[in-house]
Structure 1
Amino acid sequence: MLTLERLRADHADALLAFERENRAYFARTVPDRGDDYFTPAGFAERHRALLAEQHARVCHFHVLLEDEALVGRVNLMDAADGSAELGYRIGERASGRGVATAAVAQMCRLAAAEYGLTSLTARTTLDNPASMKVLTRNGFTRVENTTVGGRPGIRYVREHLTAAPGTP
């Protein structure tokens, strides 16, 4: 069973382990976070900053658990005026099983029900067809070319979010 949990301070150790385990996997399709991010001090500093942003309700960060194991993260960044940017990372062990599609669907419902959002945007690199499929399966529409960490990408939008269960 997949569960989204709002990011907490006690997620730090499991989240750092997840990021380290999947660093090379993620770097294939998304810009790397840099060596400092993966050090205990660098990660702790970044984790505290994320929690502060969340406390200010600027962003809403979540870990994705499957049977209590951390398998991904799904985040809403820069929430304002009923919209936010969706970002997600699903670990290699959970890839190819529909986990990302289900997690994004769950986040779309949560964005509407818990955070009062009516639309989401998302970006992915051109060399990440799996992410493009996840977004289109969840009702996102391609709107323009963009860059993601300096790499060519595509920007998507999903409007008219609903909190109704079973609705992507």
Structure 2
Amino acid sequence: MPELCLLRPDHAPALLAFERENRAYFAASVPDRGDDFFARFDERLRALLAEQEAGECYFHVVAGGDGEVLGRVNLVDVADGGAALGYRVAECAAGQGLATWAVREVCVLAAERYGLSVLRAAAALDNPASRTVLTRTGFTVTGETRLPHSGRPGLTYRRAL
């Protein structure tokens, strides 16, 4: 059974492997992180952990039994009782309900541990898997948008906690 864990410094090797191994897979549906992300991974991880320590964001990894990172579920831009949700799952774990499980778990944490009352999300129109995860986990469509990093058309979602 996978485990949802708040991001820690010791996740670094497995997290970097996850990002490298799935780079092309992720780039098919979300903008590529770019070479600089990988070249400066340790620096970027320290910055994320500092944001998390400040309560601005909560970064989670979905860890397999062997410590392998199978996914990420993040709450960013935490303010005024809300946050934006983002997630990604490894290609080897796609289509198995892992994203749905992890998003449900983060919704519980968001309400019970982080004191949030609402989550926001967005998904591209051409990403039916992501839209299905949001619908299955209680998010409702609130409007249309252009996704910030890609400009692709998408839908915005909201879930009260």
Same fold at TM > 0.5: yes
Q: 5 Å matches for 1:8-157?
A: 8-39=8-39, 42-67=40-65, 68-148=67-147, 149=149, 150-157=151-158
Structure 2 unaligned blocks of 5 or more: none
Check whether the contact 1:2–1:103 (CA below 8 A) recurs between aligned residues: no
Paired residues, number: 158
Query: CA separation in 2, counterparts of 1:63 and 1:55?
Result: 16
SS where residue 16 of structure 1 aligns? Answer: helix
Query: CA separation in 1, counterparts of 2:154 and 2:27?
Result: 15
**Structure 1 residue 69: deviation in Å?**
2.2
The alignment's TM-score, normalised by the length of structure 1, stands at 0.91
Percent identical pairs in the alignment equals 61
The alignment's TM-score, normalised by the length of structure 2, stands at 0.95
Query: CA separation in 2, counterparts of 1:151 and 1:53?
Result: 28
Check whether the contact 1:142–1:154 (CA below 8 A) recurs between aligned residues: yes
Check whether the contact 1:142–1:155 (CA below 8 A) recurs between aligned residues: yes
SS where residue 138 of structure 2 aligns? Answer: coil
Structure 1 unaligned blocks of 5 or more: 162-168
| Misfit runs of 4+, over 4 Å | none
Give the superposed CA RMSD: 0.9
